[in-house]
Amino acid sequence: MTKIAIITYSTYGHVDTLAKEIQKSIQDASKGFNDDVVDLFRLEETLSDDVLQAMHAPEKDASVPVIKVEDLINYDAFVFGIPTRFGSAPAQWLHFWDQTSSLWAQGQLYGKMASFFLSSGTYGGGLESTVRNTLSYLVHHGIIYVPLGYKNAFAELSNTEEVHGGTPWGATTLADTDGSRQPSDLELRIANIQGKTFYETVKRFAGESTEVQKKEKKTKITALQTVEKQAKKKEEKKEESKNFLTACCTLM
């Protein structure tokens, strides 16, 4: 049984839209593993109602529970979603991790796995620096960072036909400076790929293979067997001509 928690902070909902896509993708990828769980949580809000009102922040989705630090122990892996704040993580992220020192002292999170997805207002607004700054939290807890990478999302990440977020560090979306832009289909596709890729990586570390991985493994084995068969045939032919030459020489 694998338990994954998707934990977000989102003021305007962009990060949460990506979170739902990642949750859906993990649920799709986990078909056949009926005990596996992927739950959504949000980080505790630290801003006052007055400040949130001044920022025109909408109400939070009450169906998504606030994560408590001890909840982390119950999960094998985490997908963290945060918006960029001055090229780094928001205060809500720091507030949460500042409460985890007893988990840290006991090594309770050591060996768990985590991935990131983000939202920023602009291009170059600090998506990559945000992930780099948050990596330190994982390192100190001994949590294994799983990047999105390019393997499964090369076409999407390298698309220069349209304006879009998405990095090998994790799925991202561009909210624009007034928050008016919503995650595009391409950004959602990248989020979807990240969910599936992350889940498969977590399962592989747990010693379990998803149907897709089993198929990939079978294809690799078949290819290897074909190469081996060809090499064997070549060897046999060589042996045959050697034997033929030996026979000829003996006759002469």
12 binds ligand FMN (CB under 6 A): yes
Q: For residues 158-177, which are near ligand FMN according to CB under 6 A?
A: 175
Contact criterion met (CB below 8 Å) for 14 and 83: yes
Q: How far is the CB of 209 from ligand FMN (least distance, A)?
A: 34
Q: How far is the CB of 151 from ligand FMN (least distance, A)?
A: 26
CA atoms lying within 13 Å on the CB side of residue 88: 8
Nearer CB in complex with ligand FMN: 37/52: 52
Instruction: Give the range of 82-90, 159-167, 206-214, 240-248 binding ligand FMN by CB under 6 A.
Output: 82-90
Nearer CB in complex with ligand FMN: 11/194: 11
Give the tokens for residue 92.
């809500």
Inter-axis angle of helices 14-29 and 185-205, to 10 degrees? 50
Give the tokens for residue 129.
């620096």
Distance from C-alpha of 191 to C-alpha of 211, rounded to nearest angstrom: 20
Distance from C-alpha of 183 to C-alpha of 178, rounded to nearest angstrom: 14
Instruction: Give the range of 33-41, 71-79, 80-88, 153-161 binding ligand FMN by CB under 6 A.
Output: 80-88
Q: How far is the CB of 223 from ligand FMN (least distance, A)?
A: 43
Inter-axis angle of helices 185-205 and 211-251, to 10 degrees? 70
Give the tokens for residue 227.
């190469």
Among 60, 87, 94, 95, binds ligand FMN (CB under 6 A): 87
Nearer CB in complex with ligand FMN: 91/139: 91
Among 92, 115, 119, 167, binds ligand FMN (CB under 6 A): 119
Among 84, 92, 167, 192, binds ligand FMN (CB under 6 A): 84
In what helix (H) or strand (E) does residue 171 lie, and over which residues does it extend?
none
